[in-house]
Amino acid sequence: MAFGITEIPPFEPPTYKLFISHAWNRAEYDSLVDLIRQDMSFLWENLSVPKENPIAMLLALPKSIRTLVHELDDRIRQADCVLIISGMYVAHRQWIQSEIEAALDFRRPIVGVAPRGQDRIPEAARLAIEQAGGELVRWNKGSIVSAIRRRAGLEPPTLEIPGVSLSSLVGNPVPRTTVPPSAASILGNPSSRQPGSLPLSALIDNITKGWPRK
């Protein structure tokens, strides 16, 4: 169906697929999930490993760790954005660094979140996230959601005109440009002629004065 000039298709907000690094601190992870869920306008799907259904591992086998790595890689590959809880980086650097590298391999944007109640991000985590081209934000719902939207790039950019709001354009149509005066208005309005000039009709009479008349 083709849309006319005045027909604008309804905007359907996208559902973001997020992977949150969390494996060793469920309390911090659960708090972050609850924080994001407070934004009712932000639709998202959690690709993280739920505690109700952990990844099955054959612990008796030396290579069982590969199952976990492959499963995490697959989830990160599907994600629109990867969230790193930076407070866990120092204690679990090997695993979180592996997830950061997977995000780089699959070209997934990274958002690093400062520990809850802190403004500063641990130095090791900050360096790792910055070197991966990620963005660092505080433990704040608005900051986190805005960073996800900005880095994932699933929504069209908002048109912004400096000093002009959309409401002002809607309520006050753009004024028409001044139309130059017509020749008729000039002929009928003596004040618009230069001092000492003759009307066009008088000039025509002077030019055709000696012409034969029918």
pLDDT by residue (tens digit) across 4-32?
A: 555 666 778 899 999 998 656 678 888 99
Q: Are 136 and 130 in contact (CB under 8 A)?
A: yes
Q: Which domain holds residue 98?
A: 15-152
The verdict on residue 213 lying in a domain is no
pTM of the predicted model, to two decimals?
Answer: 0.65
Question: How high is the pLDDT of residue 82?
Answer: 97
- The total of other beta-carbon atoms located within 10 Å of residue 71's CB is 14
The verdict on residue 208 lying in a domain is no
* Count of structural domains, the chain: 1
Question: How high is the pLDDT of residue 20?
Answer: 94
Say whether 137 sits in a helix, a strand or coil.
Answer: strand
Question: How high is the pLDDT of residue 167?
Answer: 45
The verdict on residue 90 lying in a domain is yes
Sign of the Cα torsion 150, 98, 25, 44 reads positive
Which pair of tokens denotes residue 33?
A: 């999930």
Q: CA-CA distance, 147 to 62, in Å (whole number)? A: 39
Q: Are 43 and 80 in contact (CB under 8 A)?
A: no
The verdict on residue 35 lying in a domain is yes
Q: CA-CA distance, 114 to 139, in Å (whole number)? A: 6
Half-sphere exposure of 214 (CA within 13 A, CB side): 0
What residues of the chain score a pLDDT lower than 50?
Answer: 52, 63, 165-167, 169-171, 173-178, 183-184, 186-187
The verdict on residue 204 lying in a domain is no
The verdict on residue 207 lying in a domain is no
Question: How high is the pLDDT of residue 177?
Answer: 47
Which pair of tokens denotes residue 185?
A: 């208005």
The verdict on residue 62 lying in a domain is yes
Question: How high is the pLDDT of residue 28?
Answer: 86
The verdict on residue 83 lying in a domain is yes
Q: Which residues contact 132 (CB under 8 A, 6 or more apart)?
A: 100, 101, 103, 104, 110
CATH of the domain at 21: 3.40.50.9200
